Structure 1
Amino acid sequence: MLEKSILRICKQTVKSNILRKYSTKYSIKLDEQVSHAIENNTYKPRKHPGIFKSNNISVPDNIVTSIHNVFQDYPLKAVCEDSKALVNFLYHRHPPAEDREIKEKQKEIENIIINKHAEGKEYDRNEKKNILSKYEPNIRNLLKTQLPQWSSINYTTYTALQYLVSRAAPEYAVLVRIFQELDERYPNFNPRTFFDFGSGVGTGTWAAKLLWEKSLYEYFCVDISSCMNDLADILLKNGYANKPSTVRGLFHRQFLPASNTQYDIVLSAYSLLELPSSNNRFETVLNLWNKTRKFLIIVEQGNSSGFRVTNEARDFILNLPDEKNTAHVFMPCPHDKPCPRFLNDNTPCNFEVSYRTLPLLGSSEYHRERYSYVVLQKSPRNENDVSWPRIVRPTLVKSKHTICRLCTSKGTLEEVIFTASKHGKTSYHCARASKWGDLLPITIEPKS
């Protein structure tokens, strides 16, 4: 019993020392307006303005009805089963290897072959060339296995249906979550025009219509697959080609228009990895930025590949030399500096949303989807804008403390352990109520 008591006291001492170490690392100050509102019972800490709730998002009932009508002519069960391979392929997709990467890897393989073949001898250039010519098939095979392989997808009618049943629900939920926060954080925003690059089955249109149906009068959708465009069009006609569309001002095209007509919202969702090189991605992103009047929104899957191309596009726009096209990150970053997640570790900066699967083969289920995104606003950052830190990992709620991993306005990642004794009850309860992806209404200053 004595040994157990000593062990318990030691654990408590170590735990308190750890808490003391981290909790005194920063000076935490709750936003004055938020503090005043909570003190006057305007709202509770669990409903502070940094929280954005969007639970269990479902595809609209009229779209679900359209999907059922479309599948009167197709084998639904077979399509659902075959879609699993497509989902797996999309999730594990890498950006295509660049010429520089290929040359570096080839040089590395060639050096290994020469060193193994030489056994201490010195070869001149011609001798090395003769040796490598014998191993040319091996070098090609090694390049294929050691570099990410990329291939385009030909979206036929059947492939488009596979994409619909497997990806429509999670992608729609992600876009609704992003659009909802944009709508809340930018009050009185009434976009008139919407441009969707890589529009697919139309999830961007569904989400934009949900938020801004009263103000939008033009939806311009571009997808290189005519089968995708046809399916997206039919889904907005109750599942029948001869019915009128339920969306006014809807246009579908296969290619980006040459004109620089600008749109209030420009969206590229799950499309950049469809492009065959970084140069193609940069050209496309610049084209989309030139078409942007207010917001450019880029969304990809929340894995390493999706985060990489999202961050690549973010940095590209922020570093454009044209002063007329001054940009800043509206969401999710509270800063325009290089992404600290990309610089400091090998995990993606991503977020999570809960959604309901399509009720096609029985009842729907609740799943979660991870995504990486950036919303770029075409204007300089206002010095008076709220720059609260963003919670970039799940909040760890313990018995008497709460751990928040934050991305701050200084472009750093910080881990703050909140306790009521050190930071005050109001700040502590705000932290406990906040979730992954929320903003925390505080300012963080390192103590001297």
Structure 2
Amino acid sequence: MTFHNRSVPLTPLSTSTEPVIRNSPEALFGKKRIGTVSLPRPLIQGITDLIQENDKRLIRTDALRLYESLRSTSRIINNSDKPHTLAYGPRESIAYTAGVLPSTYAATLNVLAELSHRISDFSPNSILDFGTGPGTALWAAQEVFSDLQSYVGVDLSEDMLNIAERLQANVLPKGNIEFKRYLTAIVPNAPKPDLVISAFTLGDLPSQALQRSIVDQLWDQTGDILVLIDRGTPIGFSNIARARQWILDQYRDEVHVVAPCPHDGPCPLLYSPEAKPDSFWCHFSQRVQRPPFLMKTKHSKFHSEDSKYAYVILRRGSRPKAELKHVDKNEKNGDHDDNFSKVAFSWPRLVQPPLKKHGHVVMDVCAKEGEIQRMVIPKSQGKIPYRDARKAAWGDLFPHPSKNKVITRISKGVNNEDDIVEEKK
């Protein structure tokens, strides 16, 4: 084969000074994803040491029994169905720590990270974790908030608290940590915890009446922000939506929802006439890297799993209202946070993964009107909105209005619990 030597003039490649179009600052601010979560090494080491001191086969057996109990709570369709219940004794507490803690830690970390991102000036000094179990939420809070000085973990199970104390001994937090079995009575004029959290506890309570009593007590204990998290099942979602409504009904303009809802009205997925919470419910997902002890407990070769959860963040005070200021494109992304922190309260949130079609993106969102709406963002709407829509993910806030008319999939929720206000009076 013969090659001919041809003289081809070389021309320099043209370079553009225009920046590559990425996600807009607004869309970046609305992102909920934090990547795959890994447990802190001291926590992994503490749990590994705990497992080594116990019968691994027995831990596996107890963990399987615990998984079945938790799965049963997602299958309740009516009040006649009763879930399996477990008392967290020594064996159950160890099995929970070895087999469930990583997923609950990941979900809690995601929610607290979103809280820190959305309200950048929120820097709590004290935290109360109700239903702390092995201290899961306290570990997550230490990762997110650097100014915490006072930690209180409350759990009815003495065995859970023993494990929590042991695991916390693996770190040296800046402040004091106290574990106890019961909530302390409120002392008039005494400072309340800045942050109160109850993660994956409401679903373990046997009745709605007890859930409501606990939620009322937690809100009374809250100095600023209350975070409630439950399993990402229809029942877990219903627990969170009802707790959210109980507080909103009682305190009206004295409280607002930070996340996930862009409104303070009744949840349309539970309280709307068209709601079907057994098939369409508000929940989200966080991926967690399985530590070696979890892979052995589950006899699994997969290095990660997805934690499904439902949640609400409530804050004292009325809902912020602000107009979006001019955004300087030359500013760094972090400089926009203060600009977006208030206006983002009205941005719709994706309640399902978006459908990315040819030339357009379909998104089902919870909107500020209190409805579940379907938005369609076509390519003709512009490069930035279209790219933001293409990059949007389940759980994100979406900052752009729809060019096309939105479709109401589920109408506003109907509030049938006004009697709560009268009871409070």
TM-score, reference length from structure 1: 0.74
State the match for 2:147 in structure 1: 215
Question: Structure 1 residue 49 and structure 2 residue 34: aligned?
Answer: no
Q: Distance in 2 between matches of 1:379 and 1:95?
A: 37
SS in structure 1 of the partner of residue 194 of structure 2 = strand
Q: Determine whether 1:228 maps to 2:176.
A: no
Specify the alignment match of 1:17 in structure 2. none
What is the aligned-residue identity percentage? 28
Residue 293 of structure 1 aligns to a residue whose secondary structure is coil
Is the CA contact (8 Å cut-off) linking 2:375 and 2:402 kept in structure 1? Answer: no
Structure 2 match to 1:76: 56
Deviation at 1:276, TM superposition (A): 2.5
Q: 1:43 to 1:178 in 2, by over 3 A?
A: farther
Match of 1:187 in 2: 120
Give the conservation status (yes or no) of the 8 Å contact 1:268–1:297: yes
SS at match of 2:305: strand
Tell me the distance in 2 between the aligned counterparts of 1:369 and 1:58: 13
Shift of the 236–42 alpha-carbon distance from structure 1 to 2, 3 Å rule, reads: farther
The one-character-per-residue Cα deviations of 1:281-309 (angstroms, maximum 9, x if unpaired) are: 11111110011111111100010110111
The structure with the largest helix share of the pair is 1
Q: Partners of 1:78 and 1:236 in 2: how far apart?
A: 24
SS at match of 2:313: strand
CA distance in 2, matches of 1:42, 1:204: 39
Cα distance between partner residues in 1 of 2:376 and 2:267:
23
The residue aligned with 2:177 is 250
The alpha-carbon deviation at position 187 of structure 1 amounts to: 1.1
Q: Using the TM superposition, give the Cα deviation of residue 341 of structure 1 relative to its aligned residue in structure 2, in angstroms.
A: 1.6
Name the residue aligned to 1:393: 352
> Could you tell me which residue of structure 2 aligns to residue 332 of structure 1?
260
Query: Shift in Å at residue 329 of structure 1?
Result: 0.6
* SS of structure 1 residue aligned to 2:401: strand
Matched residues in 2 for 1:62 and 1:426: separation? Answer: 43
Contact 1:94 1:305 in 2 (8 A): yes
Name the residue aligned to 1:380: 318
Q: Structure 1 counterpart of 2:265, which letter?
A: K
Letter in 1 for 2:213: E
Deviation digits for residues 322-378 of structure 1 (CA, Å, limit 9, x no counterpart): 56x711110000001111122222322101111112211567611111111000011
Out of 219, 224, 235, the residue aligned to residue 305 of structure 1 is 235
Alignment of 1:115-154 (within 5 A): 147-150=80-83, 152-154=85-87
Question: Aligned equivalents of 1:96 and 1:218: distance in 2?
Answer: 38
Q: TM-score, normalised by structure 2?
A: 0.78
CA–CA separation in structure 2 for the residues paired with 1:40 and 1:183: 33
CA contact (8 A) 1:95 1:273 kept: no
- Gap regions ≥5 residues in structure 2: 1-16, 323-341, 407-425
Alignment correspondent of 2:14: none
**Per the alignment, in what secondary structure is the counterpart of residue 397 of structure 2?**
coil
Query: RMSD between aligned alpha carbons?
Result: 2.5
Deviations 1:203-226, CA, capped at 9 Å, x for gaps: 1000000011x3100111100000
Query: Alpha carbons of 1:331 and 1:40: their partners in 2 closer, same or farther (altered >3 Å)?
Result: farther
Q: 2:276 aligns with which of 332, 345, 358?
A: 345
Contact 1:95 1:277 in 2 (8 A): no
Q: Could you give the per-residue CA deviations for residues 65-95 of structure 1, whole angstroms, max 9, x where no partner exists?
A: 1111112310224313430221121132269
CA radius of gyration, larger in: 1
**Greater RCO structure (CA 8 Å; 6+ sep):** 1
Counterpart residue type for residue 255 of structure 1: Y
Conserved in 2, the CA contact under 8 Å of 1:237 and 1:246? no
Length, aligned pairs only: 354
CA distance in 2, matches of 1:43, 1:220: 46
